[in-house]
Structure 1
């Protein structure tokens, strides 16, 4: 079992599916010869050929439209969008075609399409390279929206996304690509979609997060532990559809909840989670649900991006506020 970065784990998952399923095909800008802008697909074209790993023109709309047609005809295309900020031209095809194909054909056709996109700030990149538009896609019926927080979860979740018969938007936190390594077994075992993972048990407060923000959440939990506060940490993983039972059970145990995400605050996934806690778990709460999020602004250039992203200090402050209520 090798110690892999997230980039390595994603590459390994793609290679596994290309080797074991002849219907799988990769499309994207510079993913073949160059191996992708982050080298996530490095070596795959050499190994599997340019009919399976296809370099496309710089045309996101055309890539998505082509991939949907391929999926409708029985292939399993995996599209790479170089940065999440480049995905907006693709929304037309996703919303009007990919997400509706099963409904429109009354189940005769499905759309086993995965769209991968690096997302989020923290790598000192400019506008359109640091955005996290996850909430836009959770509002589209017929889509799954998934984001991993570690190499092992990236491997298992990507396998599950590829094998899903319906379209999946797979957001990969860019700053996690090479941040740390962990053992990942190349066994082809998929992790369950539509499920949360409890990363840390606790009794005093529930910390709910996903993707890159879990780094700061885990650090906050460590700091709180030094103060005698036992925080339970939940990785949501699948943002659409939300698996709420794990979150509600945790809130019933702790009585307090802080939700942390990098995407902008208004209409964010955190608001949906908070609303569901209010509807289904209100009597468990000992304090109002707190949210620590990005702001309702364009992600700033790198001198200010650390001010935009949720930090450990903001998370700890929110927990203290919940504990004081």
Structure 2
């Protein structure tokens, strides 16, 4: 039987982000990568490794605190966290838990659910960028400084109507704008390449993105009538992405702190948190009771001013449905 002491399930969630059953499930999921090769006297067990890493992900506390809690050296904590990040960010695990919808049935199910929010048609996802603060790296330090003047990884996230992540891109320095991250992402390649089933299928984004035939943004100066109604429905529907980011960063407090790792490892850590976020959704693990659902690291929106091929599609949607 796993050793959780006298902690209740709610207390376990508060400390580790997952409930007791979720921790045991994750332990089995990572067994192949994390199982100790030998069983020496002071060997850190598989379950201990998972708990050490989850404690760090959930709290964002410095690793020395984690070492004190679990009774091992700070260097051992650092090594365990690296092992878990490597295991949890392996492609087969990421692709199992973070999936972009590609079938007509998957898209229709998501579009029907989004429609119930504010009657915006044919929306299957909402997209935004969020900054994760990092310690200034030793190389190329300047490119990691974002518009709010701190070092970060600018992360693109797409959520479905159930607050699940269907795509995450964590590999760009903080100075890179959302629009460029989108254009060089797999989402852009999928949508521009026509790899989804025929029909109108939309993502919603803010004005930092170009308006495309498949990515609809709000009107900056809407005319009274269909355009203001469009903007109202757009805002209500797109609020899902703000809620999703708030939940992601709320449960995994490390994303709210300055992460003292090299940028490459931070990118893997962000993806790990995305996987764990979706794991919690699939297992109906509630948010910790003391978490505020806010994203305090969101920069002000910079209005995209480049070519916007989807302007006529936006007009069509506004005039047809609103």
- Give your verdict on TM over 0.5: no
Q: Which structure is higher in strand share?
A: 1
> Which fold has the larger relative contact order, with Cα–Cα distance below 8 Å and residues 6 or more apart in sequence?
2
TM-score, length-scaled by structure 2: 0.28
> Which structure is larger by alpha-carbon Rg, 1 or 2?
2
Q: Which structure is higher in helix share?
A: 2
TM-score, length-scaled by structure 1: 0.28
